[in-house]
Amino acid sequence: MKRVVLPAVPPLPPGPSPWPIIGCLPEMWRNRPAYKWIHDLLKQFNTDIACVRLGNVHVIAVISPEIAREFLKKHNAVFASRPITMATNILSSGYLATAVVPLGEQWKKMKRTLVADVFNQSRLRWLLDKRNDEADNLVKFLYSQCSNNENGSVVNVRNAAPHYPMSVMRRMIFNTRYFGKGREDGGPGLEEERHVSALFTILLHSYAFCVFDYLPWLRPFDIGGHEKKVRDALKIIKQYQDPIIDERVRKWRRSNQENRIKEPVEEDLLDVFISLKGADGQPLLSVEEIKAQITDLQLATVDNPYNSAEWALSEMLNQPEMLTKAQEELNRVVGIHMLVQEFHIPHLPYIRACVRESLRLHPVAPFNLPHVSCADAIVAGYFIPKGSSVLLSRLDLGRNPKVWENPFRFDPKRHLNGAANEHVDLGEHELRFISFSTGRRGCPGGTLGTNITVMLLGRLLQGFTWSMPPKVDEIDLTEQAQSLFKLNALYAHAKPRLPAAVYPI
């Protein structure tokens, strides 16, 4: 009888030897923040892919674009799910939204809704005036802080930058700038500051290597107060959002009861979500699905535009010739008698290159949202077991010296080839760095994200001449210890550079 030789199973990617049951959780706990520990392991093992077992979960970290493409392109269908964690379950109301929802019918339903009814071109054009209002308000807010002195004033860019993308989303979703009374100068009120702070808290804890995500029996102890922080933050978010949503749903239902022919006019995305109908003529989305998806949209928008703009302006202040070049491009394309608009964005390759370079060098998070394998797979010659959590390193992909020359230097020219009106895409489909990712779980709102981010930086650069504050020779570029945000808020001297009549007042 002929002997059958079965093919040998490839090894797991290199990594530290795990303890029984608990894996490498003690080492992770001792070496916080975990993302630095994982990146140190990749260097220690001199590898582009590593495997760290946490509890019974194999966590696969990747810093090579070639291997990243294998995961998200060649094996895209296998790695299209998301891990189940305490925080993502809470923030998505039991996985009712899109971004953090595991692969399945609920994710497919919500993804179809976003693609067909939120991020299509006609819908974005319909919401353009609302975005323009908030871009004008951004300029108004900064102008109010530096126009009283003919030489300008030092302003805190972080007072404006994080709130602009959220003002855009509030206007598009709820048709309002403020949850409360607001401020005459256009700045965020207490309600908006609390709301944005709560969103950032949830983002920080969504995939934060929480011990009881790997050892569920520890969850009742809430080590580090992780669950309490997430629940408290979501409570603040719902405090401001849910009353608006509940009242709007009642309005549409009253209208349907009183007059089944004529429904309320759609004025924003909340109206769109409520008015969507399924094949049976009934509402497509439940109230809880609407609430979860609205929170999901804001979590997806709050951090990247602000982070990119603050880092880009900080880097450009340290290399002022870049500020000059960007403003020359704005003068040439837009002029000085109107504010930059979204239709100008395709014709601003240098501004877009500055944003792209900021996304590369200063990613908003150490890793992308994790992918989970739905089946055993072989990637880069290694065995990846079913249920593995795959993390692509935003940090080391964008700073990989094998891909990028002088990777720690902020250099927008690396994204330009010198052609007139060349197209500079903020997406990076070859995964040499990560902006909107790619594959099934790629961000469907890339166009909107691009417009919000470029408009934020474009309005800052066009509206004001920026320089160092007094007694400052260089902007500090230190990152926060627990994240990749800039440690200290950017304070810079701003002086209006356009005719006074151009500024909204």
257 or 137, greater pLDDT: 137
pLDDT of the residue at 439: 86
pLDDT of the residue at 307: 96
Distances, alpha carbon 136 to alpha carbons 150, 168, 174, in Å: 21, 11, 18
CB atoms within 10 A of CB 176: 14
Which candidate, 267, 301, 288, 302, places its Cα nearest to that of 174? 267
Which candidate, 318, 434, 416, places its Cα nearest to that of 72? 434
Q: Which CATH architecture has domain 25-502?
A: Orthogonal Bundle (1.10)
Phi, psi of 52 (to 5 degrees): -125, 120
pLDDT > 90: percent of the chain: 86
The answer to whether the CB of 210 falls within 8 A of the CB of 85 is: yes
Q: Could you tell me whether strands 491-496 and 371-372 are parallel, antiparallel, or unpaired per DSSP bridges? A: unpaired
The rounded distance, in Å, linking the Cα atoms of 492 and 313 is: 9
Weakest-pLDDT range from 86-95, 238-247, 251-260, 406-415: 251-260
Q: Which pLDDT band holds residue 3 (cuts at 50, 70, 90)?
A: low
Mean pLDDT of the chain: 94
Which candidate, 204, 238, 115, 155, places its Cα nearest to that of 485? 204
Does the pLDDT value for residue 263 go beyond 80?
no
Annotated domain spans of the chain: 25-502
Weakest-pLDDT range from 65-74, 97-106, 373-382, 440-449: 440-449
The answer to whether the CB of 186 falls within 8 A of the CB of 149 is: no
The rounded distance, in Å, linking the Cα atoms of 299 and 263 is: 30
Mean pLDDT of the 285-301 span: 97
pLDDT of the residue at 402: 94
The rounded distance, in Å, linking the Cα atoms of 95 and 91 is: 8
20 or 5, greater pLDDT: 20
Mean pLDDT of the 196-225 span: 92
Q: What's CA 460's distance to the chain center, in Å?
A: 20
Mean pLDDT of the 361-374 span: 96
Distances, alpha carbon 340 to alpha carbons 259, 345, 405, 498, in Å: 43, 8, 32, 12
Q: In this predicted model, what pLDDT tens digit does every residue of 6-31 receive, in sequence order?
A: 567 899 999 999 999 999 999 999 99
Q: In this predicted model, what pLDDT tens digit does every residue of 115-128 receive, in sequence order?
A: 999 999 999 999 99
Mean pLDDT of the 357-386 span: 97
Q: What is the DSSP string of 336-347?
A: SSS---GGGGGG
Weakest-pLDDT range from 129-133, 249-253, 272-276, 488-492: 249-253
Does the pLDDT value for residue 379 go beyond 60?
yes
Give Cβ neighbours of residue 107 (< 8 Å, ≥ 6 apart): 98, 101
**Helix, strand, coil % (nearest 5) of the chain?**
50, 10, 40
